Amino acid sequence: MKAFGGSAFFIDRDDINTDEIIPAKYLTEITKRALQPHLLEDLFLDGKEFDTQADDFQQASVLVTRSNFGCGSSREHAVWALEVNDINVVLGESFARIFRQNMFNCGILAVELSKADIDKLFALAQGDGAIKIGIELDKDTVVAENGKGEKVECSFSMNPFDKELVAAGGWLAYADQKY
Amino acid sequence: MGKTIAEKIFAAHLRDTPTPENMVLDIDVIMCHEITTPIAIMDLVDKDMDRVIDPNRIKAVIDHVTPAKDSKTATQAKIMRDWARRHKIKDFFDVGRNGVCHALFPEKGFIRPGNTVIMGDSHTCTHGAFGAFAAGVGTTDLEVGILKGVCAFRKPKSMKIEVTGTLPIGVYAKDVILKIIKQLTVNGATDMVMEFCGPVVEEMNMSSRMTLCNMSVEAGATSGLCLPDKVTAEYLWPFIQEDYASLEEAVEDFSTWHSDPDAEYAETLTIDVSNLRPQVTYDYKPDKVKDVDELAGARIDQVYIGSCTNGRIEDIRAAASILLGRTIADSVRGILTPATPAIYSQALNEGLIKIFMDAGFCVLNPTCGACLGMSSGVLAEGESCASTTNRNFNGRMGKGGMVHLMSPLCAAAAAVTGEITDPAQFIN
Ligand code: SF4
């Protein structure tokens, strides 16, 4: 199975919706690649426009966020916009149903952690922004480490069916074999 | 132990149980529009899997941006059109016959009690108004639906929402659902089916029930549902009269899709609407809702009446009742988009379109249009819109714009005054 993890980027907000992840005006694109420059383009954080060009965001493979990430429109473009930016994991307290399903359907991870664990990850990022996060799917653990070598380890429980989708490389491959 | 309607539908469509928490269902109706389907089609073509499970189970429409506004939307439409032809999908609706999916498909009688329905569109939950399990899905789910006729779900729990009391004059289904979303918050019903019941829902026509179910996803729900009854059977009668000897027989048959009295619910919410005020959203989330009185006076630049939430004939009638003999404020741009050609035609016949035009409204063809900010009424930075749609996310109707969600009656009142207004003063 492919490895999940890498540099993490933190977004401290609840209820980030799919319009913010990829605005509707890009839904006329018929290739996933075309979405690449527009990820989180309409996000507002503390009343300010989000800087999509920031280095640490550009280099991220993991997003860490709060609750109900991916709510709103069903557009799978939100997941593709993550994929074409090489983001393969989103960690959050909770996800909107359709977004979560779309992630696993594409064979990438929406991992739910407890609020306490998400708080710990945010706290770790306070000290030193450069955080690396690894996901060990067979052990159901997340390991995060900052530049100073400080570590946070937490566990999650992932629905076994979602794991099977990831192992199969997504829902289409799984369904084509089975149904 | 008894079963809820959702559990009955799941049991009747169960194809597989990969884990006790997950289910794979056979899907009766797979609905497609031109925003989320073309990539599914292209991927299937790419993978040499360009097939459809059954062209009769597929319903397709070009509705979000139509007629095409530029080369890209023209290409999306063409991909759909060619695909529908190639696979002999007879229920395909193109310019002249097209309208907003969740208004058009019910009107055609495609959804029946007990059905399972998916679409690459989050407001697919609208069709739950017919006592169906209807859920929005992403493009991959849609792709598998088209190819295999199945869809996987994490088994949702049921939440019972009992609406009691009597709706005050000038207060509508839209106000009820906004109030419910406010109470539940935007993720209060995640992984749940919201079952709307109680005397107020029983009294509602299908249009109002669709408004309720339409916005269930704004509380995070997998679907909304109403129990199919005489109102449902009367609405569907033109399509089912061959199947039943009488309306009563249809009603009796539909009642097999009622929740059992001893069914178990994860949660129950009772809401008495007798003192409910018109509800209006502020800010950028659909659970940010206040009584109209608290927001009255806020400036409005555009009024949009349309969409799968409130673009039906009943909505147009309600708004017209306020606009009759009045003109809209000079500072306001009024836009009416009847949701389907049949609704448009009906509004013409009833003289409603003239009322809107005399009041100063621009009347557009059936389309999603401004609802998702892709065409036909996009806001400029700093502008605000009184809208009968279902989402007020930041940027939804145009970058930097603010959308205030409200009922058609409230939106018409805002058009007249140019600010958020309690419609009571205009109701005779
Ligand atoms: S009218 Fe708006 S909410 Fe309804 S289907 Fe169209 S874009 Fe979606």
Q: Which residues of chain A have a CB within 8 Å of the CB of B222?
A: 97
- Whether B72 and chain A come into contact, CB under 8 Å, resolves to yes
Residue whose token pair is 């473009």: A77
- Whether A179 and chain B come into contact, CB under 8 Å, resolves to yes
**Alpha carbon separation from B120 to A86, B13, B151, B178 (Å, rounded):** 24, 20, 12, 24
Cβ B395–A42 below 8 Å, yes or no?
Answer: yes
B390 CB near ligand 1 (under 6 Å): yes
- Whether A161 and chain B come into contact, CB under 8 Å, resolves to yes
pLDDT in tens, chain A (179 residues): 678 999 999 999 999 999 999 998 899 988 899 999 999 998 988 888 899 988 889 999 999 999 999 998 989 999 999 999 999 999 999 999 999 999 999 999 999 999 999 999 999 988 766 899 999 999 999 999 998 889 999 999 999 999 999 999 999 999 999 99
Q: How far is the CA of A126 from the centre of ligand 1 (A)?
A: 40
B397 CB near ligand 1 (under 6 Å): no
pLDDT of residue A128: 63
Cis peptide upstream of residue B238 (ω within 30 degrees of 0): no
B121 CB near ligand 1 (under 6 Å): yes
- Count contacts between A and B (CB, < 8 Å): 144
B33 CB near ligand 1 (under 6 Å): no
Q: Which residues of chain B have a CB within 8 Å of the CB of A164?
A: 18
From chain B residues 273-332, the ones with a CB under 8 A of any chain A CB are 284-285
From chain B residues 165-184, the ones with a CB under 8 A of any chain A CB are none
pLDDT under 50: residue ranges of chain B: none
CB atoms within 10 A of CB B331: 12
- Whether A79 and chain B come into contact, CB under 8 Å, resolves to yes
Residue B426 to chain A, least CA–CA distance (Å): 34
pLDDT of residue B57: 98
Residue A27 to chain B, least CA–CA distance (Å): 6
Cβ B144–A171 below 8 Å, yes or no?
Answer: yes
Cβ A76–B138 below 8 Å, yes or no?
Answer: yes
- Whether B357 and chain A come into contact, CB under 8 Å, resolves to no
Cβ B395–A161 below 8 Å, yes or no?
Answer: no
Mutate to test the interface with A, among B80, B187, B283 (most CBs of A within 10 A): B187
- Whether B143 and chain A come into contact, CB under 8 Å, resolves to yes
Cβ B120–A42 below 8 Å, yes or no?
Answer: no
pLDDT of residue A1: 65
A110-145 per-position pLDDT tens digit: 999 999 999 999 999 887 668 999 999 999 999 999
pLDDT of residue A35: 96
pLDDT of residue A140: 95
pLDDT of residue B139: 95
Cβ B395–A176 below 8 Å, yes or no?
Answer: no
Q: Which residues of chain B have a CB within 8 Å of the CB of A115?
A: none
Above 0.90 for ipTM, yes or no? yes
End-to-end CA distance of chain A: 23
- In sequence order, the 6+-apart residues with CB closer than 8 A to the CB of B294 are none
Residue whose token pair is 């559990």: B7
B200-235 per-position pLDDT tens digit: 999 999 999 999 999 999 999 999 999 999 999 999
Residue B408 to chain A, least CA–CA distance (Å): 22
Per the document, the length of chain A is 179
For helices B341-349 and B352-359, give the axis angle rounded to 10 degrees: 80
B386-408 per-position pLDDT tens digit: 999 999 998 899 999 999 999 99
pLDDT of residue B170: 94
For A17-31, b where at least 16 C-beta lie within 10 A, e where not — what string?
bbbbbbbbbbbbbee
